[in-house]
Structure 1
Amino acid sequence: MSTVSSTLWPWLALAGLGAFHGLNPAMGWLFAVALGLHRRSRGLVVLALAPIAFGHAVAVSAVLLVVIVFGTVVDATFLGRGAGILLIALAATHALSRHRIPHRIGMQTGLAGLAVWSFMMASAHGAGFMLIPALLSLCVSPGMGGELAASTSLPISFAALAVHTGAMLVMIGTVSLFVYDKGLAFLRRGWVNLDTLWSVALAGGGIVLLAG
């Protein structure tokens, strides 16, 4: 792999995962649409994107922070292997449970409820863990002896979070407004279940880490 491609692919992966997360209705856009339809306000759909993105970003940043903290005291190869096993375990759990997660937040919740829901779903779905392969690729280079340095890894993590959240925000905004304009009836004939793809993405990230 060339130097340019090896540097570029993690950023593309972060953006691609952001778009993929934004496409998943469980990450919050369906709630934004429901809120907008209930209040009969297209502007409210747009406003709802902020708490959704915030809740998701908090959940993802918690995972990235843990990775950086452990990476400063544990060999990055060992960390990658452990994260790979965890990702595959999350994929199996997600696939077997079909993600039946109880919740107490209704479809007509307010903006604060949207932030809480977004955080809960991103955490429960293992959204932040999907970013670990790209993050480790950015933070660990062959000349670093397999270790992460907090001084360089933290800025990279913030940049990774910004790229990921930005891509998610664009996708979730596009989908929310499209569904709001077309009506929820569109979902019955024009949408697919993303649970299987989500499990595949988790497992794929785990395989990448174990094979690296």
Structure 2
Amino acid sequence: MMQVSALVAMAVAMGVYQGVNPSMGWLYATARGLENRSVKSLIDGGVKFAWGHYLGMNVVLLPMAWLLALTRLHPMLLMPWIGATLMVYGLLKLRSPGHPRLLNRVSPLRVSRWSFVMALTHCGSPLMMISPLLGLVMVSQAGAPAATNLATTLQGYTLLALGISAAMALPQLLISLAIAMAVYSRLGLKALTRYWLNFDLGWSIIFILMGAMAVGM
């Protein structure tokens, strides 16, 4: 149970970090609220952004979960490869931190679609969530009877994938909405000129560190 709590806490912590990141929703939500002078527009923008991100994660995590269920492959065999991929991705982001050109082809007005593509091509949240998913699958395999049928395994792994995605997306949504509301109602746009951090740099470093941990396992 302790291991499960640690894996879920890892996903939640990443969601909190992404929620604080301006490019992950709250800046857009604030802009929508100020543009329409409406809290409803602010919340709508934040929810649509988080929904696109959640879908982007599951496009990667669900097939991974199904592959593990169908092959009965032990997740530990994938850890070194996932870890190496995380480190390479982090290094590439350090070298080229800008948005990929593919995002330019998606209209910013289509918020959920833009967030979906951003999750897959720029921030890498789906890739980041593979390690916690593999950990949860390992815990599930250790506690499941050897004779567990395929349908039950598929259902269980599907719920794990959906759950670990939600464990990141919900904190991201709540934190981004809280910050957007604070800027909208209290701090104002002047706060954006006073307080600004490079969250993408920290995100890249987290990729490298998590990759090293996965390889070390």
Q: With the length of structure 2 as denominator, give the TM-score of the two structures.
A: 0.84
- C-alpha separation between the residues in 2 aligned to 1:184 and 1:121? 25
Q: Does 1:185 align with 2:190?
A: yes
The amino acid that maps onto 2:131 is P
Q: Does 1:209 align with 2:214?
A: yes
The amino acid that maps onto 1:131 is M
Per-residue CA distance 1:83-135 (angstroms, 9 max, x = gap): 111111110111100224342567xx54xx11122112211221111112211
- C-alpha separation between the residues in 2 aligned to 1:105 and 1:187? 26
Worse-superposed segment, 24-33 or 196-205? 24-33
Identity %: 25
Tell whether the 8 Å contact from 1:27 to 1:122 is kept in structure 2 after alignment.
no
Tell whether the 8 Å contact from 2:75 to 2:137 is kept in structure 1 after alignment.
no
Tell whether the 8 Å contact from 1:133 to 1:208 is kept in structure 2 after alignment.
no
Q: For residue 162 of structure 2, what is the aligned residue in structure 1?
A: 158
Per-residue CA distance 1:5-41 (angstroms, 9 max, x = gap): 3221011111111111122222222122112212222
Matches within 5 A, 1:76-155: 76-102=75-101, 103-104=104-105, 109-110=108-109, 113-124=110-121, 125-141=123-139, 143=142, 149-155=153-159
- C-alpha separation between the residues in 1 aligned to 2:31 and 2:8? 32
Deviation at 1:57, TM superposition (A): 0.4
Tell whether the 8 Å contact from 2:28 to 2:46 is kept in structure 1 after alignment.
no
Tell me which stretches of 4 or more aligned residues in structure 1 moved more than 6 Å.
Answer: none
Unaligned runs of 5+ in 1: none
The amino acid that maps onto 2:40 is G
Q: Secondary structure at the match of 2:134?
A: helix
Matches within 5 A, 1:5-84: 5-72=2-69, 73=71, 74-84=73-83
Deviation at 1:174, TM superposition (A): 0.7
Tell whether the 8 Å contact from 1:35 to 1:44 is kept in structure 2 after alignment.
yes
Q: Secondary structure at the match of 1:140?
A: helix
Deviation at 1:191, TM superposition (A): 2.2
The amino acid that maps onto 2:175 is M
Tell me how many residue pairs correspond in the alignment. Answer: 203
Deviation at 1:175, TM superposition (A): 1.3
Deviation at 1:68, TM superposition (A): 1.3
Q: With the length of structure 1 as denominator, give the TM-score of the two structures.
A: 0.86
The amino acid that maps onto 1:139 is V
Residues 150, 105 of structure 1: CA spacing in aligned structure 2 closer, same or farther, 3 A cutoff? closer
